[in-house]
Amino acid sequence: MKDRSTTKGFAVLSAAGMIAKVLSLLYIPFLKGIITDEGYGVYGAAYSVYVFVFVITNAGIPVAISKLISELTAVKNYRDALKGFKLSRFILLIIGIFMTILMIIFAKPLSKLVHYENAYLSILALAPAILFTSVASAYRGYFQGWGNMVPTAVSQVIEQFANAIFSIVFASILIKYGVEAGCAGATIGTSLGAFFSSIYLMIYYERNKRIKVPKGYNELQIKRHSTKEIVKKIAAYGIPITIAVGMTYAGNLIDVANTKARLMAGGLPDAYASTLYGYLVKYQQLINVPISIITSLAVAILPAIASAAAVNDKKQVKSNIMYAFRVCFLIAIPSAFGLSILSKQIFYMLKFGEGAFLMTYGSIVLVLMSVMQIQTTILQSVGKLYTATIYSVIGIIFKIAANYYLIAIPSINISGAIYGSIIGYIIPILLNGRMIKKTLNVKFKLFGGAIKPTISSVFMGGMVYSSFKISFMLLKFLGSGYIRNAVATLISIIIGMYSYIFALILTGGITEEDLKIIPSKLRRFIPKFIINRIR
């Protein structure tokens, strides 16, 4: 797969990811207004259980499908690529049914495990989503393996749009029966969103399942694989990835119980501990907006690296790796600066309520998460699957230990979860970086590509801070409330985007190829003198 197609796939997925995450943010104030801050903590706990079951079910095999198809199509083995997808789809369907039933049966024990017994109904309502996402994940892995990111992108938007609407509708209907029922209503939207997403992907597949075979293709020259061999490949790719991601989210699940228990151990009452955990959930959801772009980059780059590795094209492998890290820093660093500087304003604009202090100093986690995600994808692409798993587990152990100690300190309380995350990401980042250099013999400084984006982000930060102060002062006629803050915040974000691009041009941190990441409709808003200077 060429850099151009990787860039296009990344652009499509990142645009869809941003739309989906913005939709998820927009409905949160309405949802929080229905179920309250305490209820939002219950909702977050139930969702953590769901996400853990989700990744156990869907984390490994879809990536295995993508990697398997990209490798087989790289050597023109189209028949086995299709065979591998159908086998994987069947396996995912069976696992999805099994895990859905388990989630229903163990909903009560799981709610007790995370110290949120009133999350029982919410966990039950989320169970069908596991089956629907299993179906959707199989098709997404198939299309991603071919380098076609459009169906994945569209399905993500459909899923989140349906989720937002139905979550609010059912939460409003059921809240009259109590907070527990209202939270369960909020999670019904997740199951319905996953259902509509899977239906779209199945329809798209049926309409576009014919494979275009290149001229001169001779099937007799292709080495075919038996069903047993393909299943072994799926297991060899899928199991370590499932373990790696599963352990990460197991750590998050432990954090749910650990966080509330340790807050109470520090002397806080049950209800306030749930409220503080709700702050952490809001922080994580906001940070996941830019992370969705990095996830899109990881999804787009994996088949590209795997294809190049399959034909032993070391030059292309290195090129894709350097591209991934460069784009990662170009996006993650300014996002972290922006969220930190405008944390209070963004929380107020989104009607998130309290908890902005977590974002003010915790946005650094965004950069660390992004780097680790790209590193893990690289190691998975070149076959170092268990290595990535072991390093992730080491990071999780340190994170849990740090959280356990820090959160119980009254003067630190919920902020301890941020400090624990920083520790939990730094350790595997250092280990992953060492392994990538050793395995691929790639000479580069891990954070060397972060220098120009950091300098540009500092300049951007100054412009954002100044523009908000000036805008807020000039908009006195709008009063002193919500509208004035929202307008001033949006103005400063727009000025920040342009100032960041301008600073990147001055420092030489952006190329013409990088502009292709930005959707064409948005590129029209970039002044011609900026584009001409890059060229």
Q: How many residues does the chain have?
A: 535
CA distance 143 to 136: 11
CA distance 529 to 535: 10
Q: Give the pLDDT score at 344.
A: 92
- Name the nearest CA neighbour of 64 among 184, 232, 193: 232
Q: Please, which residues have CB within 8 angstroms of residue 330's CB and are 6 or more apart in sequence?
A: 453, 504, 509, 510, 514
Q: Give the pLDDT score at 336.
A: 93
CA distance 474 to 456: 27
- Name the nearest CA neighbour of 134 among 107, 101, 110, 108: 101
CA distance 437 to 285: 33
Contact 308, 158 (CB under 8 A): no
Structure pTM? 0.73
DSSP run (H or E) holding 290: helix 270-310
Q: Give the pLDDT score at 515.
A: 63
Q: Give the pLDDT score at 4.
A: 44
Biggest CA–CA distance in the chain, Å, is 76
DSSP, res 481:
S
Q: Please, which residues have CB within 8 angstroms of residue 473's CB and are 6 or more apart in sequence?
A: none
- Mean pLDDT in order along the chain per 10 residues (535 residues): 51 66 73 78 82 80 77 75 83 90 90 82 91 88 78 86 89 86 88 92 83 56 74 79 71 71 85 82 82 72 68 74 83 92 89 86 90 84 77 87 89 89 91 84 72 92 93 84 88 90 83 62 61 61
Contact 75, 286 (CB under 8 A): no
Contact 364, 418 (CB under 8 A): no
Question: Chain centroid to CA 25: how far?
Answer: 14
- Neighbour-count burial for 502-513, b at 16+ CB within 10 Å, e otherwise: bbbbeeebbeee
Tokens coding 335: 């996002």
Q: Give the pLDDT score at 3.
A: 45
Q: Give the pLDDT score at 300.
A: 67
